[in-house]
């Protein structure tokens, strides 16, 4: 169960996982043949950093989905500030049970979220939502080294996700799910710093605010351990951006 201190740390962050605009643009450039005004579904949108970038770099509309209403509220506030609120619709829904009609979207986007239901499972479940010839782009945690070469600290950091695979293993998944893999790339360090830099600042503030509160400090310590693990073992793991097309 997520604690109040968890939400205190994450409140106000622009993104809920590694990513940056340069990586988004690189992935978006692989989606050849999108309509001039694509219908985009952003799954696990969080507070919507990538949602706003998709609106910036396309003339389309975005349906943004998350199960944490405050994230959706933050997204709409930022969309209003950016003058694009009329192109965003939010939906408080589960990625595993989406209330949309078949072939409703030209592009499905999901950064740092599909692993909650599993990459093969997500690709299979979401395929019906894409029009024939439509695109899907996701980021998925990956090992950058063979498992036998991974230090124990890196393995411990991802112990709760035993399905985590290597780059080569992940690149084989789309074809089995009925997609054509257009391209893939590993997120660069800048995409991680865009997430962990602001998080570290929040962790420092919350640590000072709750000095002496053992329960709050335990949550702070969990976040600090996650950040420290990336600093120590960032050469062992990352996220892989996969860009795929549903065959026409």
pLDDT digits (tens, 9 = 90+) for 12-51: 999 999 999 999 999 999 999 999 999 999 999 999 999 9
4 pLDDT above the threshold of 80:
yes
Report the DSSP beta bridge partners of residue 241: 139, 185
How far is 180 from 161, CA to CA, in rounded Å? 26
Domains and CATH numbers, the chain: 16-147+158-188+236-245 (3.40.50.150)
Measured in degrees and rounded to the nearest 5, phi and psi for residue 8 equal -65, -40
> Do the Cβ atoms of 236 and 150 come closer than 8 Å?
yes
pLDDT digits (tens, 9 = 90+) for 65-84: 999 999 999 999 999 999 99
Q: What is the pTM of this model?
A: 0.96
């Amino acid at each position: 169960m997520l604690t109040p201190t968890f939400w205190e740390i994450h409140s106000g962050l622009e993104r809920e996982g590694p990513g940056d605009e340069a990586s988004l643009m690189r992935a978006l450039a692989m989606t050849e043949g999108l309509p001039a005004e694509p219908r985009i579904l952003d799954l696990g949108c969080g507070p919507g950093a990538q949602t706003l970038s998709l609106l910036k770099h396309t003339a389309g509309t975005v349906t943004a989905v998350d199960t944490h209403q405050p994230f959706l509220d933050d997204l709409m506030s930022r969309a209003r500030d950016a003058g694009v609120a009329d192109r965003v619709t939010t939906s408080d829904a589960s990625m595993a049970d989406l209330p949309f009609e078949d072939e409703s979207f030209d592009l499905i986007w999901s950064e740092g979220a599909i692993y909650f239901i599993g990459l093969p499972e997500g690709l299979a479940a979401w395929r019906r939502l894409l029009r024939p010839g439509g695109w899907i782009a996701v980021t998925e945690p990956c090992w950058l080294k063979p498992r036998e070469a991974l230090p124990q600290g890196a393995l411990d950091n991802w112990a709760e996700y035993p399905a985590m695979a290597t780059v080569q293993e992940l690149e084989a998944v789309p074809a089995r799910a009925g997609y054509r893999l257009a391209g893939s790339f590993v997120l660069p360090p800048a995409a991680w710093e865009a997430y962990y830099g602001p998080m570290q600042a929040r962790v420092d503030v919350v640590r000072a605010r709750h000095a002496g509160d053992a329960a709050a400090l335990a949550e702070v310590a969990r976040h600090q351990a996650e950040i420290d693990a990336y600093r120590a073992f960032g050469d062992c793991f990352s996220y892989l951006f996969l860009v795929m097309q549903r065959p026409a």
